[in-house]
Structure 1
Amino acid sequence: MQKPEVKSGSPVIGAARQKLAEDLKKKYDSGASIRELAEEIGRSYGLVHRILSESKVTFRSRGGARGGKKTVSGA
């Protein structure tokens, strides 16, 4: 993946924010996680989440382990 022109620590505003939002939305809708996108552009999870939220993206449910009945191995 090609890293967009986003300087770490500087505000992302105007046309640059709009372009970044379009790119992030497209990648998120294609299956990339928020954490993957944040790592790719070198910015925080929170910023990526905020930009996606502003883009009216439909967020997927969280992945990973769910609470439930645990099994004891060897029993």
Structure 2
Amino acid sequence: MINTLKKRSWVTGAAREKLAAVLKKKYGSGASIRALAEETGHSYGFVHRVLSESGVALRGRGGDTRSKKVTSA
């Protein structure tokens, strides 16, 4: 789905909903907003807005800290 869209084009209606579903799945799997923006050819702000509109809980800055191993000293 992502590769079939014309880069830097307006995405509305059903196409936007499909893109939102794909972005939501990839973001949930750990992809960054910046990586998704590069892949789609859209801006960081566009991807952030689409994810927010689809109800995704956005991660904090600094990446995915869930996968880092915590060691005690």
TM-score class, shorter-chain normalisation, is: 0.7 to 0.9
Matched length: 63
Distance 2:29 2:52 in 1: 16
In the alignment, is residue 19 of structure 1 matched against residue 18 of structure 2?
A: yes
Q: Which residue of 1 aligns with 2:4?
A: 5
5+ long unaligned stretches in structure 1: 65-75
Distance 2:21 2:61 in 1: 22
Superposed CA RMSD in Å reads: 1.5
Query: Contact 2:2–2:19 (CA<8 Å) still a contact in 1?
Result: no
Q: Which has the larger radius of gyration?
A: 1
Extract structure 1 runs of 4+ deviating beyond 4 A: none
Note the alpha carbon deviations across 1:55-74, whole angstroms, 9 max, x for none. 0100011007xxxxxxxxxx
Relative to the length of structure 1, the TM-score reads 0.77
In the alignment, is residue 29 of structure 1 matched against residue 28 of structure 2?
A: yes
Q: Which residue of 1 aligns with 2:66?
A: none
Q: Which amino acid aligns with 1:21?
A: A
5+ long unaligned stretches in structure 2: 64-73
Distance 1:34 1:49 in 2: 7
Q: Percent of counterpart pairs with the same letter?
A: 65
Note the alpha carbon deviations across 1:10-58, whole angstroms, 9 max, x for none. 2100110000000000000110000000011111101000000000100
Distance 2:3 2:18 in 1: 10
Relative to the length of structure 2, the TM-score reads 0.79
